[in-house]
Structure 1
């Protein structure tokens, strides 16, 4: 597949909104994807290199948003218990959308890798992300970048979401004392998180998948 990946600006707003509509229309479980109004994207366009887009001859076929929450109440740094003076060092790997016809090309993984590099170049230290427990593909991509599940909470629209985190200046966490919990058993996962465990890997199963939880030994 031939494509071009580049940072977007406000002139791409209609393309982004149109792609968002295509993605949500084609999802069998619309609960896993959170839509946003045009003003959400306009706010992010104000920050240089905040939105990456992927183009083919068909136009815009994917985008990824990097969000800088600062000390606002929607910072996932609060959800994982970061100190207040650390919140200005947090970035969110936020909304990602890939056209249904172009899934399976690792576009989400590539875009988020660029955004992590951008965050480190700008001096940020904490990368966070919110993922639905049902969103198998996104969860696998986030794990591949070294983020770990630190919390499982009711978030926007009162939906359960994983909050994942990685300290960008530290080595990737090495976990031991592994427990594998079926992805659908959210109560068991919350229990382990409350005991200080973190989710660090997704394991495929004949029917569904499980999440490996362990304690950091770094």
Structure 2
């Protein structure tokens, strides 16, 4: 087993620091992966905020249509992150962000990212993201765009994506009518500058859609009178 990362992590229930490591996940890890996902889904009050993956979707990823990285404490899987190479069909996120057909095969998705409740607050999602993105170039196909969906009001997940320099490019209905932000990162444009910054309340989806239609993108959070608001701006082309 090749370790991709080693460090320490705090168990928030035991208030104890423990050694942990990360490694690639494979088909034989599927039962454990699904157990961890089930535990995380049970702990979430707003079920629509996280789109769980089916067994078929996990199999798709693990059968060389993506990659997964897991975090372990004392041999127990405590969290994982997945990248998925999507089929090119009418649901492809590339269409939602305005990519032409010939660019769709350059898109890979950041899929589900979960951490057991007792290990939250350690920035583990971010560490998993850093490690899995280092593994990305090892795939046979080279990708330019990283895309994902996030539910509005899911502040932890949005923070995670903004930390990775992803931005909100669209707000659409996905997964049979659920509203989702579509976020993207162009790996060939690493030094993006913005102008005309504005902030919008988290629940003002109408205003957000208007700004997106006018060429703005969502780039982060800003505290306004002690509350998070989304920050939008126009990229300098």
For the superposition of Structure 1 and Structure 2, which TM-score range results when normalised by the shorter chain?
Answer: over 0.9
Instruction: Name the SS for the 2:82 alignment partner.
Output: strand
Question: Which runs of 5 or more structure 2 residues have no equivalent in the other structure?
Answer: 1-8, 10-18
Q: Counterparts in 2 of 1:31-110, with a 5 A limit?
A: 31-47=48-64, 50-57=67-74, 59-110=76-127
**CA distance in structure 2 between the aligned counterparts of 1:114 and 1:65, rounded to whole angstroms:** 11
What are the Cα deviations for residues 2-35 of structure 1, in whole angstroms up to 9, with x where unaligned?
Answer: 1110110011111111111111111111110112
1:127 aligns with 2:141: no
Give the total of aligned pairs: 218
Question: Which runs of 5 or more structure 1 residues have no equivalent in the other structure?
Answer: none
**CA distance in structure 1 between the aligned counterparts of 2:182 and 2:55, rounded to whole angstroms:** 25
Aligned residue for 2:165?
A: 146
* Equivalent of residue 29 in structure 2, options 12, 15, 18: 12
What are the Cα deviations for residues 18-55 of structure 1, in whole angstroms up to 9, with x where unaligned?
Answer: 11111111111111011222121111111176011111
More strand by share: 2
User: When the two structures are superposed, what TM-score results if normalisation uses the length of structure 1?
Assistant: 0.94
1:164 aligns with 2:183: yes
Q: Which has the larger radius of gyration?
A: 2
Instruction: Name the SS for the 2:176 alignment partner.
Output: helix
What are the Cα deviations for residues 94-127 of structure 1, in whole angstroms up to 9, with x where unaligned?
Answer: 1111101111111111222233333345421011
